Structure 1
Amino acid sequence: MSTQKFSSLTKMLSAFLFFLLSLPTFAQQATWIWYPGDYEVWLGNKMQNRRTERGSFLPPFWKLDSHYNLMDFHKDFNLSSPEEVEIFVEGQYNVKIDGKAFAGYPKKITVPAGKHRINLKVFCQDRVPSIFVKGKTIVSDSTWLVTFEDKEWIDETGKASDQSGTTWLKAGSWNFNSPLTPPSKFALATKEQFAVKTERNAKSILVDFGKETFGFIKLKGLKGKGNLTIYYGESKEEALSAEHCETLDNLEINQIQKKDSIMDLTKAFRYVNVVYDGSVSVDSLSMLYEYLPVTERGNFKCSDDQINKIYDVAKYTFHLNTREFFIDGIKRDRWIWSGDAYQSYLMNYYLFFDAPTVKRTLLALRGKDPVTSHINTIMDYTFYWFLGIYDYYQHTGDKEFIKQLYPRMQTLMEYCLGRRNKNGMMEGLAGDWIFIDWAEGLSKKGEVSFEQLLLTRSLETMALCANIANDSQGAEKYKNIGSELKTKFFANYWNNEKHAFVHSQVDGKQTENVTRYANMFAIFFNYLDESKKQEIKNNVLLNDKIQKITTPYMRFYELEALCALGEQSYVLKEMKDYWGGMLNLGATSFWEEYNPTKKGSEHYGMYGREFGKSLCHAWGASPIYLLGKYYLGVKPLSPAYETYLIEPQLGGLKWMEGSVPTPKGDVKLTVSDKKITVSGADSGTGTLRFKSAIKPSCKQGIVKEISPKNYELTVEKGKEYMVEYETIK
């Protein structure tokens, strides 16, 4: 390069640097912070205690923990100049710089130049102790350290201890980025919606909102003196059943002037029947629809209109049950059940990819030490909690969350291991609920194979997370226990004559019963060789003599296992029959249970109650997951989609298109029997894998034949590829 050109380039770089230095310095983002997990526990308690049945309060069945009342926050700063800092706090507090306290409750402090430690100590019982600190460079965020016990002490001279053995964690936060919106004031969004049909009688109004929905009923122009009752119904029959509807509101009205009135508690409904007496009158009804604002990133569309309808209703079902946390159903139970939540995590990765709601739900479910029972008191739900952490890491690669959660994982796993029997197996003890599924006559006695399988996978999760947390001794321990249990599982439950795993052992002997549960999970856990997979497929999954599954909950896993075996064509028909069956009966969201043999209002009953069944249950939305993972065929091969697989399967469809979200960008696909168009995510490397009857071609990349009629194409980040091929008939 010539001296003149070099000089010119130097001047340009100097000018650019001067421009950068002259730009104004913007303040970093401040946010409300708290002890990690405490806000989630507090908010979970608040949400789960809103359930009512016919006006009576109905709390959860399990132990509820509380947040820590006294919290210590601190962070070290090195300032080039003095800085004024604003302070906002939920609770009573004091503020110190380098151990020296300010008088009173300062709203602003000035931090001198140099190295300093800012410390806030906060006490609050009715809310979570939280702080919001905002200066030019000093802001509250997840880099602050917190503890619920500082373990300080002083000697007889008044000198404070210079070390305390305290465990400090990085602060928790969400998206409360304004000092005027503290965490305790959080509320879901609402918008007014109106009925599609209204029927008036002399002393009643029946309204139909057109589809399953959730929110606050608003009575407009309410006037008079007397009693008013609102009967809510997911079905018309339920709203009209004054004696048996699950939820209602009773009001005493005494007002001269017309007034609008909004109910205090949210309810689930499609139909609302308002009945009143005396001189009471109501002009009209509307509702405030309550929802968590989330962005749909995943989508799916195909040549089959019924599948498209199933996908859309599944999305709506999942939206309704995605709230402060992932809940089971909007009518009941409106609680955080770990088994339900686990499926919601998986559906979430293919629709919203909303990591914060996954973390909130995991934290709320885990609660605090000491561990005195299984999560939700259900053995299998404890294991689903571990599986949820495994999948969270695979999809997000979030090591910091794993590191902070790991001590709570350890104490929960030690509780589980301490409840094994003399054979080293899980067997129900007093206080243990072994759920598995709602299935008539399903035995829970002895050592149930399904529970051993879930514990094995949970131990593998522990070994993985131990390595992330730099606990090599723990990793080795959990790996060894898991390997030993896996060996026992195959030795104790596989039956060569039945070509399947049996359901349980009682008194050291195999029972005769074969159920689908352990068999199908062993398939998508990838624990089996090809021979055993085929044996299970033919003798269990495709065998009508084996007790059928009637809940969407376990249909989720049954169809996943069949998809993992390449049975997409069969699964497509099952989706159309099962979820399509609910649509044919007028469902606008998917149910807790569907049995095609039932007739009419029989479909609404459960738990011995005429309208006990939830007609909007999160586990009914599983087509979101199945269509994203096993038809579009996108899944991570390494954490955070650094490498991922794209293995589209039409399964009898003529064409399909859609997108699957990743931590950075979406994988987009259009597939027909002759062409595949794929766009890579904004990071990571994908592998497109497909079969073709002819030699495929692609101008944008090199297609490699990995075995006869099986091909692969590397998909680079942000690039689009078009492959011409021909499906094998």
Structure 2
Amino acid sequence: MMIVNLRAFLFLLLLVISSSIYAQLPPVFKGRDTAGISRDPRTRMYLSPTRILWKSDSSGTYVKDAHQLLKPGNGQAELVNKDLVTLKNDGVHQPGILLDFGKEIHGGIQLVTGLMANQKPLKVRIRFGESATEAMSDIDTLSGATNDHAIRDMIVELPWLGGMEFGNTGFRFVRIDLIDPGRELLLKEARAIFVYRDIPYKGSFHSSDERLNEIWATGAYTVHLNMQQYLWDGVKRDRLVWVGDMHPEVMTINSVFGYNEVVPQSLDLIRNVNPLPSWMNGISSYSMWWIRIQRDWFKYQGRRDYLEAQRGYLVDLLGHLISKINGNQEALDGNRFLDWPSSENKAAIHAGLQAMMIMTLQDGAELCRVLGEEKTAVRCDQAISRLKKHVPEIGDSKQAAALMAMAGLIPAKKANEYLKIGGTKNFSTFYGYYMLQAKAKAGDYQGAIDNIKEYWGGMLDLGATTFWEDFDLDWTKNAGRIDELVPAGKIDVHACYGAYCYKNLRHSLAHGWASGPTAWLTEHVLGIQVLEPGSKVIQVRPHLGDLTFAQGTFPTPHGLVTVKHTRLADGEIKTEIDAPEGVRIVR
């Protein structure tokens, strides 16, 4: 009976959606089948550049009046031919300009031309870059610049007296070159097209430390950029649904935006394209992350109907995972992977997967009991008991140490002693979140705060406006900033560093998996811990470390929870909490 009702509900929902789409169509399309029509959930905004970072010519002969591009535009070509930028190619000098839009965005570029003497289309080269260096680079085998996933280096034609739009990538900088010899380009506007989901930042964080405030906001914005049609890894490269990498992103979404359709849509996509017994993205741990995300999503958002729709796949996946246990040890096949920096350390991978299996089966058992799948829950419990009898060596890996502490395989304080070695040395932008979680479990909140300021703050010191795919604090030594043309004698961070699939300029500088501190600061400094599904019961226990105050908001399905923590003269913390009806606060 329940299945019949569910089918009826889904059919009615489809009718409502179809009717909504039909109502939005212009009259000329009213007779069309809506099955092939979908609405883009994103919006577009046009941004003028904030500065001209470079010109090929400063004499005014080949590049004239470039500052006109900094003025607000309207996207409309005009006959008056006033306040235009002139680029002149005499066959010897190829003119070019480098524009800075002030902050990394996702989208493209709009170019509007003037009333040129020659009415034939003319060719320009457009190069997008997450760093100034990348926008100035050539695609070659030396610097790592690529057109993978998105074309960021292209030759296009511009019309006489018209406007065109190009590009679909992540960038902050754009270089434009007139490559047609013997031609003159009159350019009225060069505006960035910012494509994003227009959603409110419901969660917030503000403290006595401005560096922490900026880090929280940067992590939130990094994930926001990657909330496109689906939840991506990066807006320049890895514009894909990598479900393991989604976990820090989803925790950030829970802390900043609350419910958003991009999460279930992405989880469903990866489930549908990876039917069992295949692993999601070909990686066994990523199938485990899918279960862990489902548990956290249900805990924060409480969407029972969505969880119910996962019943069959969830139960079968848990059974598949249990079949990959040999005695007391995980025996997972497929791609055995935690993160890139640990990818060559077999001992660390085994230790991490052993811990992941325990945590995943715990989450799976919890969800199965919500769904009434007691038989599978008991199988998970039994498998966990077996797995806990084998405690692997950590393999000289902070990734493994963090996961083992989180899973209870080793004491958190023991793991933290290892995590402290060298400060943030051997941290990673992805698994750094779990290193911070392990430190919190050990009670080392101040140590975690210091790590956040040093490691993630190190990217900000180099000009980052979003967090990167990978980072090593050693990169900051004698380094130039990514928002400047690197001066002689300084190291070009983007062009020189990186490894594995993210070497040199291929390196993504807006990667959602690096947003962990945003969720962590909400969870542990503001002290907001969700105890019951749907955020119905929330525990508030702040850990300010050396902060004098911290305050913020947290989105729930019932409304915003507001907290403010102030350190008094005697060292005690005064806490003020405002919670909506339907949310019970425990201290």
TM over 0.5: yes
- Structure 2 distance, partners of 1:608, 1:471, is 42
Contact 1:425 1:447 in 2 (8 A): no
- What SS does structure 1 have at the residue aligned with 2:23? coil
C-alpha separation in 1, matches of 2:400 and 2:521: 23
- Which of 243, 262, 266 is residue 165 of structure 2 equivalent to? 262
Mapping for residues 172-183 of structure 1, pairs under 5 Å: 177-181=20-24
Q: Deviations over 1:654-693 (max 9, x none)?
A: 11111111111122111111232111232121112xxxxx
Do the aligned residues in 2 keep the contact of 1:219 with 1:282 (CA within 8 Å)? no
Partner AA of 1:560 in structure 2: Q
- Write the deviation string for residues 297-351 of structure 1: whole angstroms up to 9, x where unpaired: 1101111122222222222212111222221111111111112211111111110
* Per-residue CA distance 1:404-455 (angstroms, 9 max, x = gap): 111011333344344x2644643454xx222212226732369702112212
Measured in 1, the distance between the counterparts of 2:375 and 2:345 equals 38
Instruction: Name the counterpart of 1:375.
Output: 280
Q: CA–CA distance in 2 between the matches of 1:472 and 1:170?
A: 31
Cα distance change, pair 221–170 in 1 and its aligned pair in 2 (3 A): closer
Specify the alignment match of 2:363 in structure 1. Answer: 461
Show the counterpart of 1:144: 9
What are the within-5 Å matches in structure 2 for residues 226-245 of structure 1?
Answer: 226-244=122-140, 245=145
Q: Which residue number in structure 1 is paired with residue 311 of structure 2?
A: 406
TM-score relative to the length of structure 2: 0.78
- Identify the residue that residue 123 of structure 1 maps to in structure 2: none
Residue 516 (structure 1) aligned to one of 394, 398, 418: 398
- Give the drift of 1:460: 2.1
Tell me, yes or no, if the aligned pair for 1:142 and 1:170 is still in contact at 8 Å: no
Name the aligned partner's letter for residue 678 of structure 1.
I
Contact 1:336 1:361 in 2 (8 A): yes
Name the count of aligned residue pairs: 499
Report the secondary structure of 2:261's partner residue.
helix
Whole-Å Cα distance in 2 between the matches of residues 571 and 220 of structure 1?
A: 49
Residues 143 and 294 of structure 1: CA distance in aligned 2, closer, same or farther (over 3 Å) = farther
Structure 2: distance between partners of 1:621 and 1:404: 29
TM-score, structure 1 as length reference: 0.64
What's the secondary structure of 1:274's corresponding residue?
strand
Which residue of the other structure, out of 320, 332, 346, is the alignment partner of 2:225?
320
Counterpart in the other structure of 2:434: 557
What is the distance in 2 between the residues matched to 1:174 and 1:622? 35
Cα RMSD of the aligned pairs, angstroms, is: 2.9
Q: Distance in 2 between matches of 1:172 and 1:563?
A: 48
How much does 1:376 deviate? 0.9
Superimposed CA distance per residue, residues 444-500 of structure 1 (whole angstroms, 9 cap, x where no aligned partner): 369702112212222222222322333232222222223322x3334xx2xxxxxxx
Partner of residue 493, structure 2: 602
Whichever residue aligns with residue 482 of structure 1, its letter is I
**Corresponding residue of 1:354:** 259
Sequence identity of aligned pairs in percent?
A: 22
Q: In structure 1, what is the equivalent of residue 185 of structure 2?
A: 281
Q: What amino acid sits opposite 1:535 in the alignment? A: K
Q: Which has the higher helix share?
A: 2
Q: Which residue of 576, 581, 587 maps to 1:682? A: 581
Q: Is the contact between residue 427 and residue 447 of structure 1 (CA under 8 Å) also seen in structure 2?
A: no
Match of 1:611 in 2: 505
Q: Secondary structure at the match of 2:538?
A: strand
1:534 to 413, 428, 442: 413
In the alignment, which residue of structure 2 is the partner of 1:708? none
Question: For the residues of structure 2 that align with 1:304 and 1:394, how far apart are their CA atoms?
Answer: 30
State the partner residue of 1:488.
389
Q: In structure 1, how many angstroms separate the alpha carbons of the residues matched to 2:444 and 2:237?
A: 34
1:195 is aligned to 49
- TM alignment of 1:326-341, pairs within 5 A: 326-341=231-246
Which of 330, 337, 345 does residue 426 from structure 1 map onto?
330
1:1-40 pair list within 5 angstroms: none
Residue 484 of structure 1: SS of its match in structure 2?
helix
- Higher relative CO (Cα under 8 Å, sequence separation at least 6) belongs to 2
Q: 1:209 aligns with which of 101, 104, 113?
A: 101
Task: Note closer, same or farther for the CA distance 1:378–1:631 as it changes in structure 2 (3 Å cut).
Answer: same
In structure 2, relative to structure 1, the CA distance for the partners of 1:489 and 1:356 (3 Å cut) is farther
Is 1:474 paired with 2:372? no
**Corresponding residue number in structure 2 for 1:185:** 38
Q: Provide the C-alpha distance between the structure 2 equivalents of 1:288 and 1:354, rounded to a whole number of angstroms.
A: 26
